[in-house]
Chain A
Amino acid sequence: MSGEDLSGLSLLQLFRAELASQSRALIASLLVLERDPVAAEQLEAAMRAAHSLKGAARIVDLMPAVRVAHVMEECLVAAQHGQLRLRHTHIDMLLRGVDLLGALAADAPTAGNTDIERFAETLEAAMRGTDEPVAGGEMEAEAAPLPPALSDGPQANEETPRPGIAPAGSGVANDRMLHISAQSMTRLLGLAGESLIEARRLRPFADGLQRLRRQHGAIARMLDGIRSTFPADERNGHVVQSLDAVRGALEQTRVFLGDRLAEIDAIDRRSTDLANRLYTETLESRMRPFGDGVQHYSRTVRDLSRTLGKPARLQIIGGSTGIDRDILDQLDAPLGHLLRNAIDHGLEPPEQRLTAGKPAEGTIRLEARHNAGMLQIIVADDGGGIDLDRLRAAVLNRRLITEEAVMRLSNAELLEFLFLPGFSMKPIVSDISGRGVGLDAVQVAAKQVRGQVSITTQLGEGTSFLMELPLTLSVIRTLLVEIDAEPYALPLVGITRTLRLSRDAIEQLEGRPHFEMQGRRIGLVTAHELLARGEAPLEGVELSVVVIGAGGVEYGLVVDRFLGERELVVRPLDPRLGKIQDISAAALMEDGTPVLIVDVDDLVRSADKLAGTNNLRGLRRTLSANAAMRRKRVLIVDDSLTVRELQRKLLDANGYEVEVAVDGMDGWNAARGGTYDLVVTDVDMPRMDGIELVTLIKRDPRLGTLPVMIVSYKDREEDRLRGLDAGADYYLTKGSFHDETLLHAVSDLIGPAVE
């Protein structure tokens, strides 16, 4: 292909694109026409589609396709003029024509000319009314003769409009769909996310301006102070006047700055809102109407019902329900399987249905809806349902479970057996034979998109398969952890629980570290070792452990730190990287830092392998080496979350174990309740201020020797003295903890985090 004329190639691609959209419309119309052969509107639409295809095929010089489209058009025109009444045979042939066009467009050079000619002759013969197909042709149109009730044609069951066929297309057609490449979608999402991150930077900037404004206030007060030192008789002097001028200019600056602050606040609000909306909208544009993706099943159901001699129609409900493109793609195979199952095994033969008082034609319902943050897809038939007694017998017969146990199973539990690989009721019953075969594949597919399938059935009334799926694959709830100073995200669905494990609770079993959780023994592995990141530092008395895996294979994964729960938008990794062991995808955090999403199943397997080779020595060694080690504990008391977090991060990053308290009272309670090596406190706080806290600590007989450091905005000498008088060991002004000052001060007072 590569050596061919590129312009010709792109034309063929254009033709394919046109064929894709035209054939969808054509099939939809043909399916309606099968029920109502004189529907003028549909005849017109089908004819126009065939005509357009003929023209398009001529442009790309695909003569066999021109021939096919031409005969189809002739047939439809004849029907339009009333010279021909479309029968099942015609519809069959016309549908086959669409297939043929598809084959021709897909693989232009090899489509056999004989096929084309045979098709044309058969259709022309059918049009002449000599219902006789070309001898020996595999184009034999009429399959098994249909029961009289149906071949009598549409008049027999001429009901109100069929909701299943036309609306699936037309309900969706209100909003035109666009084709967009996956790559440009990824880029759009990336840019939208980036603009959100950029917008979030405005807030800290505005906060910075606010600080500047406060500093201006402080300068103003200083000037006022200077001015008040002048005796009254000098108030008109040259210096005082200059001072007043400066004071005035400063005031103007403050007002100006205030205005800008208000402005930047408004800009921040607007742009954050805008960026949020842009981001959400971009995420949502990954959604596609359900009807759009399942419309082609109408044809599948129709063809299959003809082949099996079981009249059936597909009813699509909730066609406009939004569904993630990726999920829809991955559901294609399982949905097709469920639909085939429903016709093949779900529906009874027409005679039996009539006897049971049902219409000869079965109804397969394909429904999509959003429910409680999940997407539900239902495939239901109005057939005979599953005989639970027979299912019980089949389960017993295969010795899957004891007789006593099988009687205790609820209906739902019993139906679960149908999802077992290779499970079939065949040897027991013939009427629903094969039910269950392949259902395991459906379940696997559902699990792949993080969903599940369940069955409900009512004997004599039908069976319904319910798939519950996440609304989107692109957003995932995760636990963020830190491993080797880098963030990793573990999908919440893969986590059994998280815990802080005391070192005392770790036991050695056959030389491997274990701990007990709800009566089970869980082996410990460090994430460092699993991900080949060297040895874990394993500081502190407690380990952060995530329990992963299920059934008998569970592991306690030791991570450096829990960072919290996050919803992440899943981003693909460069395909050139291939599959990275233990990693499924990547994402971005709020600040734009990349984070890797862990493939938990993979990780469990890796842990299995590591345990098998008895390679967990790293953990054992560090465990014993660090057993006696204790990190110094620091209590931070500050009413500002920002300051608190800043200090906490700074100290934590340097190995100190940090606790926080939100005001003096809280701090006093914490100090009395715990054992700390240092208290770092602010001065101005609600309930109890820092000076009082220091006083209380220093007066306490037990805590008296506990070093206390004051960190305050107040940088006047008298403030400093007040703090030190109360007993503080160190007085540090805020603004200096950005650099190493705080760390040095802490280190001076209590030494490094670990000695």
Chain B
Amino acid sequence: MTDATGRASVQEAAAERLLSRPLPSGYREEWARHYAETGTRATYVDEADAERAARNRLVFRIADEWLALPAALVDEVTDPRICHSLPHRRSAYVLGIVNVRGELLVSLSLAALLGIAGSEQARDARGGSVARLVVIVGANGRVALPVDEVHGLHLFAASEVGAVPATIARSTSAFTSSVLAWRGHAVGGLDAAHLLAAIDRAIA
């Protein structure tokens, strides 16, 4: 018992020393250079805010397709909720209503809207579901979109944004306005206006 306590205090002291040690020479300069370089490469410093905002995107996955929504569109990302289906609704898009922070939102199948098949429930390392509910906000209100996994927000560099190759006949191409390079994946950049219009049509 005393051994353990002793060991802990030794480690504590070591950590203390490690963290409060003086910075090695050139450390600050190195990081300053690093950030300056990133800035130059992305050239967002002198870019219009709107353009930069357009490259700030929420990266998520449905089945095996990685997609990206403009961050400005995203209201919140939350755990999946119990969905109550709506009677008489034959539309494959509208899944039902969900309770998000006490408000009842329409839950819409982005997979169905984009024509992606085989959406499955993935599990994280501890066996928990990585499925999430992405709440987006448009001019006509909020809507909840279940997705299989959310990576998070990512600011793409201008150089990482490419046009949609005409040769790729992806089912999602109707809503994809760009292809983003991310961790070796080709992420479909969804077009906000196009998507919102389709969502409004799907709900009505």
Query: Which A positions have Cβ atoms within 8 angstroms of B?
Result: 186-187, 189-194, 197, 486-487, 531-533, 571-578, 580-583, 586, 588, 592-596
Contact = CB atoms under 8 A, between A and B. Distances in A.
Contacts of A576: 106, 140-141, 200, 203-204
Contact of B85 (A197, A486, A574, A575): A486
A588 B99 contact: yes
23 contacts: A187-B102, A191-B102, A194-B101, A194-B102, A486-B84, A531-B87, A531-B88, A532-B87, A533-B87, A571-B104, A573-B104, A574-B97, A576-B200, A580-B87, A580-B89, A582-B87, A582-B88, A588-B99, A592-B102, A593-B82, A594-B83, A596-B84, A596-B87
Contact of B106 (A193, A486, A577, A582): A577
B42 interface: no
A581 B88 contact: yes
B15 interface: no
A684 to B, nearest CB: 35
A574 B87 contact: no
Contacts of B106: 574, 576-577
B53 interface: no
Given A532-B87, A594-B82, A586 B140 contact: no
Q: How large is the interface on B (under 10, 10 to 19, 20 to 34, 35 or more residues)?
A: 20 to 34
A594 B99 contact: yes
Given A191-B102, A580-B87, 16 more contacts: A193-B102, A487-B84, A571-B104, A574-B104, A574-B143, A574-B203, A576-B141, A580-B86, A580-B89, A581-B88, A582-B87, A583-B87, A586-B97, A586-B104, A593-B84, A596-B86
Contacts of A571: 103-104
Contacts of B105: 574
A594 B84 CA distance: 6
B81 to A, nearest CB: 8
Interface string B74-109: 000000011111111100001011110111111000
Interface in B51-82: 81-82
Contacts of B87: 531-533, 580-583, 596
A578 B204 CA distance: 7
Contacts of B98: 594
Contacts of A593: 82, 84, 99
Contacts of B103: 186-187, 190, 571
A583 B86 CA distance: 9
**Interface of chain A, helix or strand or loop or mixed?**
mixed
In the A-B complex, the 3 residue pairs with the smallest Cβ-Cβ separation, listed nearest first, are A190-B102, A194-B102, A531-B87
A401 B90 CA distance: 49
A264 B82 CA distance: 28
A187 B99 CA distance: 12
Nearest to A571: B104
A588 B82 contact: no
B140 to A, nearest CB: 6
A691 B97 CA distance: 48
Contacts of A573: 97, 104
Given A571-B104, A593-B82, A580 B99 contact: no
Contacts of A596: 84, 86-87, 97
B101 A190 contact: yes
Given A193-B102, A594-B104, A577 B88 contact: no
Contacts of B203: 574, 576-577
A192 B103 CA distance: 10
A571 B203 CA distance: 18
Interface of B: 81-89, 94, 96-99, 101-106, 140-141, 143, 200, 203-204
B38 to A, nearest CB: 38
B102 A588 contact: yes
A573 to B, nearest CB: 7
B99 A592 contact: yes
A193 to B, nearest CB: 4
A194 B81 CA distance: 13
Nearest to B1: A245
Contacts of A581: 87-88
A187 B83 CA distance: 19
Q: Which of A189, A571, A574 has the most CB of B within 10 A?
A: A574
A189 B88 CA distance: 28
Nearest to A531: B87
A388 B184 CA distance: 88
B97 to A, nearest CB: 5
Contacts of A189: 102
A653 to B, nearest CB: 15
A655 B203 CA distance: 36
A193 B104 CA distance: 12
Contacts of A487: 84
Contacts of A582: 87-88
B121 to A, nearest CB: 19
Contact of A577 (B83, B86, B99, B102): B86
A531 to B, nearest CB: 4
Nearest to A279: B102
Contacts of B204: 576-578
Contacts of A190: 101-103
Contacts of B200: 576
A576 B106 CA distance: 9
A173 B13 CA distance: 67
A574 B141 contact: yes
A606 to B, nearest CB: 9
Contacts of A532: 87-88
A192 B102 contact: yes
Contacts of B143: 574
A571 B86 CA distance: 15
Nearest to B140: A576
A581 B81 CA distance: 24
Contacts of A186: 103
A619 B160 CA distance: 60
A7 B140 CA distance: 22
A531 B82 CA distance: 20
A574 B202 CA distance: 13
Contacts of B89: 580
Contacts of B81: 592
B104 A588 contact: yes
A383 B10 CA distance: 97
Given A574-B203, A582-B87, A594 B101 contact: no
A595 B84 contact: yes
A582 to B, nearest CB: 6
A578 B203 CA distance: 9
Residue picked from B88, B98, B204, most chain A C-beta under 10 Å = B88
A192 B102 CA distance: 8
Contacts of A533: 87
Nearest to A587: B104
A578 B200 CA distance: 12
A594 B144 CA distance: 14
Contacts of B88: 531-532, 580-582
B71 to A, nearest CB: 22
Contact of A191 (B82, B94, B96, B101): B101
Nearest to A189: B102
A1 B94 CA distance: 34
A113 B131 CA distance: 64
Contacts of A586: 84, 97, 104
A531 B98 CA distance: 19
Nearest to B203: A576
Contacts of B82: 592-594
A571 B88 CA distance: 20
